[in-house]
């Protein structure tokens, strides 16, 4: 019998996805500090929100390592994840085409089509590409972790974090191999950090101390970003480091995600309808990302919603908050609804195909990793 997911961590998963939507809103609405724009109240507030939401990606990965180190790898789950990505990659352009809305393939031809059919290989969704590859590596990573002593694990993890995050966090210039945390090497670093926290985590920073670590790390990143803005106005050499606090592999960003994870570790959700609802939302939350970040929607949804929410283009704090709240709510609700429909369709397909040769083969492959008898 499959073990129930912990509701507090599923709530954190949902919150992380809300943070992702907020970050995308801030970017598309041009509500962040920019070197060529004065730091108005909306931009300052937007950058502060960005600082507190930036931990979302690292939080998602920490959860994968924190929970994944104790669970088994299943090829069937990898296939299910790939099918979920294909569901959005293929059906969204079809729906838009039926509605008469131009799609990427109309402009890019065969390359546009390839991005629909090969979303992993073409990085249709950058996060999904690295996340899928990370999942394929989890049996190797977990086995390696289990075969290392605590001291050995600490040495390896420290070396990886220094190489992929530590040096760049203090460097005034960009490195050729640095992709700012948008790649598989950083995903591996964060996954292993989550695994370490599960196995050897420090109980002293759980609960209240976790929240303080989260808030302190986010405020630190925001402060550095603001200071660099002022310095870059006078010296161009500070222009690169102005962006560094908002890179995923900026170590304070990782520290903030660790704090958030530990903060949620002491949240208790009573078993019942509420806990089940949270688990259900957590299982559907990835669909929110796959929906609004589709290549045919990611640069359009804000413009469409703005025409409805703020057709006169009013500016100011009130208009900013109205757009932020409504866009986040609408995208969240639409994403959950669509992924619920997908989950029902997938469940029906699983029932129909349950006795097929392909299904039996997947179960056999799952058994190879879950310790089933050959």
pLDDT beyond 50 at 374? no
The DSSP output letter for 164 is I
Contact between residue 75 and residue 362 where contact means Cβ atoms under 8 Å apart: yes
Residues sharing a CB contact under 8 Å with residue 79, sequence separation 6 or more, in sequence order: 362
Considering only residues 204 and 10, tell me which one the structure prediction assigns the higher pLDDT.
Answer: 10
pLDDT digits (tens, 9 = 90+) for 290-349: 999 999 999 999 999 999 999 998 999 999 999 999 999 999 999 999 999 999 999 999
DSSP SS3 for 11? helix
Burial tier of 100 (Cβ tally within 10 Å: 0-12, 13-18, 19+): exposed
* pLDDT in the model for residue 372: 43
Q: Does pTM top 0.85 for this prediction?
A: yes
Contact between residue 38 and residue 229 where contact means Cβ atoms under 8 Å apart: no
| Residue at token pair 């729906």 | 95
Task: Give the CA angle between residues 139, 145, 148 to the nearest 5°.
Answer: 140
Contact between residue 299 and residue 28 where contact means Cβ atoms under 8 Å apart: yes
Per-residue pLDDT band for 373 (boundaries 50, 70, 90) equals: very low
Residues sharing a CB contact under 8 Å with residue 59, sequence separation 6 or more, in sequence order: 12, 16, 19, 257, 260, 261
pLDDT beyond 80 at 223? yes
- Mean pLDDT calculated for residue range 69-82: 91
| Residue at token pair 């994944």 | 68
Tokens linked to 364: 């056999």
The DSSP output letter for 163 is I
Q: What distance in Å separates the CA atoms of residue 166 and residue 163, rounded to the nearest whole number?
A: 6
Indicate the average pLDDT of the chain.
93
Beta strands (DSSP E) in 131-220 are: none
Q: In three state form, how does the secondary structure of 323-345 look?
A: HHHHHHHHHHHHHHHHHHHHHHH
* pLDDT in the model for residue 184: 96
Q: How far from the centroid of its chain's Cα atoms is residue 226's Cα?
A: 25
pLDDT digits (tens, 9 = 90+) for 119-130: 999 999 999 999
Tokens linked to 51: 């600082």
């Amino acid at each position: 019998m499959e073990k129930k997911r912990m509701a507090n961590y599923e709530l954190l998963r949902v919150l992380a996805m809300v943070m992702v939507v907020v970050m995308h809103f801030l970017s598309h609405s041009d509500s962040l500090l920019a070197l060529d724009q004065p730091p108005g109240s909306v931009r300052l507030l937007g950058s502060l929100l960005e600082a507190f939401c930036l931990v979302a990606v690292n939080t998602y990965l920490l959860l994968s390592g924190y929970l994944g180190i104790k669970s088994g790898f299943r090829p069937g789950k990898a296939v299910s994840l790939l099918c979920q990505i294909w569901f959005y990659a293929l059906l969204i352009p079809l729906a838009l085409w039926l509605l008469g809305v131009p799609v990427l393939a109309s402009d890019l031809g065969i390359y546009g089509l390839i991005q629909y059919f090969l979303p992993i290989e073409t990085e249709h969704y950058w996060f999904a590409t690295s996340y899928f590859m990370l999942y394929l590596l989890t049996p190797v990573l977990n086995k390696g972790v289990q075969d290392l002593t605590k001291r050995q694990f600490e040495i390896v993890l420290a070396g990886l974090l220094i190489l992929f995050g530590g040096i760049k966090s203090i460097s005034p210039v960009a490195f050729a191999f640095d992709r700012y945390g948008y790649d598989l090497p950083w995903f591996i670093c964060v996954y292993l950090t989550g695994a370490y926290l599960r196995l050897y985590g420090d109980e002293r920073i759980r609960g209240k101390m976790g929240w303080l670590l989260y808030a302190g790390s986010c405020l630190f990143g925001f402060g550095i970003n603001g200071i660099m803005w002022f310095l870059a106005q006078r010296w161009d050499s500070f222009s690169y480091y102005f962006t560094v606090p908002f890179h995923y592999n900026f170590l304070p960003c990782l520290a903030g995600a660790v704090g958030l994870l530990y903060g949620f570790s002491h949240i208790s959700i009573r078993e019942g309808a509420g806990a089940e609802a949270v688990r259900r939302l957590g299982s559907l939350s990835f669909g929110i990302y796959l929906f609004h970040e589709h290549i045919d929607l990611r640069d359009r949804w804000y413009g469409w919603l703005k025409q409805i929410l703020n057709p006169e283009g009013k500016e100011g704090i009130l208009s900013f908050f109205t757009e932020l709240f409504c866009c986040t709510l609408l995208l969240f609700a639409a994403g959950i609804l669509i992924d619920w429909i997908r989950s029902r369709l997938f469940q029906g397909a699983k029932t129909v195909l349950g006795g097929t040769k392909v299904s039996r083969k997947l179960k056999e492959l799952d058994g190879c990793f879950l310790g089933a008898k050959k």
